[in-house]
Amino acid sequence: MSLRIALSKGRIFDDTMPLLAAADIHPAESPETSRKLILPSTCGKVEFLIVRASDVATYVQHGGADLGVVGKDVLLEHGGEGLIEPLDLGIAACKLMVCGPANLDLSNTKRLRIATKYTACARSHFAASARQVEIIKLYGSMELAPLTGLADAIVDVVDTGNTLRANGLEALEHVADSTARLVVNRVSMKISHELIAPIVERLRAAVEER
């Protein structure tokens, strides 16, 4: 029986590969060039599933994958049901922030319009301080929303701040810190503990050695 690890291409993939290599887990084909969505590993004990970043937690929750690597931002938005989060991989570090024009008053009593793909996080962030907001769901290019009048502000991830600066926006309020986490399906952890536990420990050692 082989274990399935859900990964997304892009920054999480690039940063996760060296950690998996240190744990002696290698894809048998290059994920850069292959169009396959299930990639075997050289040891034959692991398969990689290539999914969208925002789908990793869902695959692992429902047992489509046994393990996954996912941003804490995505995990917070997902809710974490059915998942164990044994390890902070310390990669893909960013912050979930409320961002908008520098002069925007977020404590204004008017009902703010917030555009975001993190609708649950945005809702609970503003609810925690009893502020009324209208949430507008977007899937990308969030920075456009305040520039076009679609929304007053956005909730999005910020790393260098370059995207905000390039679009004349600022980070106004902190929502959450995020790094990529290893997640494991709760049931898989029980029934495949002998296979999963050594992988978690090898990854932990690789993270500590980095």
Query: What is the contact surface with ligand PRP in residues (CB under 6 A)?
Result: 140-141, 156-163
Using the minimum distance from each CB to ligand ATP, give the nearer residue, 2 or 167: 167
Residue among 97, 114, 109, 121 nearest 173 (CA)? 97
Least separation in angstroms between residue 64's CB and ligand ATP is 15
Q: Which of residues 158-187 bind ligand ATP (CB under 6 A)?
A: 159, 178
CA distance 47 to 6: 9
Residue 162 contact partner, candidates ligand PRP, ligand ATP, none, CB within 5 to 8 A by sort of partner? ligand PRP
Residue among 142, 90, 136 nearest 112 (CA)? 136
Residue 54 contact partner, candidates ligand ATP, ligand PRP, none, CB within 5 to 8 A by sort of partner? ligand ATP
Q: What are phi and psi of 144, to 5 degrees?
A: -65, -25
Least separation in angstroms between residue 130's CB and ligand ATP is 28
CA distance 161 to 102: 13
Classify residue 136 as exposed, middle or buried by CB count within 10 Å of its CB (0-12, 13-18, 19+): middle
Q: Which residues bind ligand ATP (CB under 6 A)?
A: 8, 10-12, 52-54, 71, 73-74, 92, 94, 157, 159, 178
